[in-house]
Amino acid sequence: MDPLKEEFYQLPTIDLAKALLGCLLVKETEEGITSGYIVETEAYMGPHDRAAHSFNNRRTKRTEIMYGKAGLAYTYTMHTHCLINVVSAGLDEPHAVLIRALEPHDGIDLMLKRRPVDNKKNLTNGPGKLTKAMGITMEDYGHPLFESPLYITHGIVPEEIVEGKRIGIENTGEARNYPWRFWIKDNPFVSR
């Protein structure tokens, strides 16, 4: 399946966060191909979103890619883990969509080898878990997600999308209450 085209990412950030649900995230490596359906995302709305790394237009080496064009990968390190976002909105609008959970699809054996778990439900049901299972690292910082070897393609159309508060941003004032987390209703691979 071909990657979704660059034009796919030309959506308002909230719309993109929803549009990404059901899409297939694919990573090709020498070890093999892994992929999973995106089942949970969060929108980070840049300068006016206290929970965003780019709040108040903070522009550093880390956040620089958020000021780039939509469809690039923004990877960063959180504690000992790598998290992946899809850069959103126009140039100099530093928005991003965090990919929080996947439903494993291809290469499940390889993912289990990278990240052994008893139950397949726990393989990619968290932002740090899915990157480890798929072999996504800081090497992917700035990679265009409309190109191999790390790309997003058409998957399934979700039956119903639900929204709620974002996770893990307790110390961000009002921003913690914004309903900018989206997931596929009743999907067992959502993080919580």
Residues that bind DNA (CB under 7 A): 42, 44, 51-54, 58, 60-63, 74, 76-81, 83, 85, 96, 98, 115, 122, 126-130, 138, 166-169, 171-172, 191
Q: Using CB atoms within 10 Å of the CB of residue 50, give its burial: 0 to 12 exposed, 13 to 18 middle, 19+ buried.
A: middle
Whose Cβ is closer to DNA: residue 35's or residue 63's?
63
List the beta strands (DSSP E) in the chain: 24-29, 32-44, 73-78, 81-88, 95-104, 146-147, 150-153, 161-164, 181-184
Residue pointed to by tokens 């009743």: 186
Whose Cβ is closer to DNA: residue 5's or residue 165's?
165
Whose Cβ is closer to DNA: residue 23's or residue 99's?
99
Q: Closest distance between DNA and the C-beta of residue 192, in Å?
A: 9
Question: 53, 30 in Cβ contact below 8 A?
Answer: no
Whose Cβ is closer to DNA: residue 11's or residue 58's?
58
Question: 75, 82 in Cβ contact below 8 A?
Answer: yes
CA angle centred on 85, ends 35 and 103, rounded to 5°: 30
* Cα–Cα distance for residue pair 192/188, rounded to 1 Å: 9
Q: Closest distance between DNA and the C-beta of residue 54, in Å?
A: 7
CA angle centred on 59, ends 55 and 64, rounded to 5°: 115
Q: Closest distance between DNA and the C-beta of residue 97, in Å?
A: 8
Whose Cβ is closer to DNA: residue 133's or residue 184's?
133
Q: Closest distance between DNA and the C-beta of residue 107, in Å?
A: 18
Q: Closest distance between DNA and the C-beta of residue 188, in Å?
A: 16
Q: Closest distance between DNA and the C-beta of residue 85, in Å?
A: 4
* Cα–Cα distance for residue pair 102/127, rounded to 1 Å: 9
Whose Cβ is closer to DNA: residue 35's or residue 159's?
35
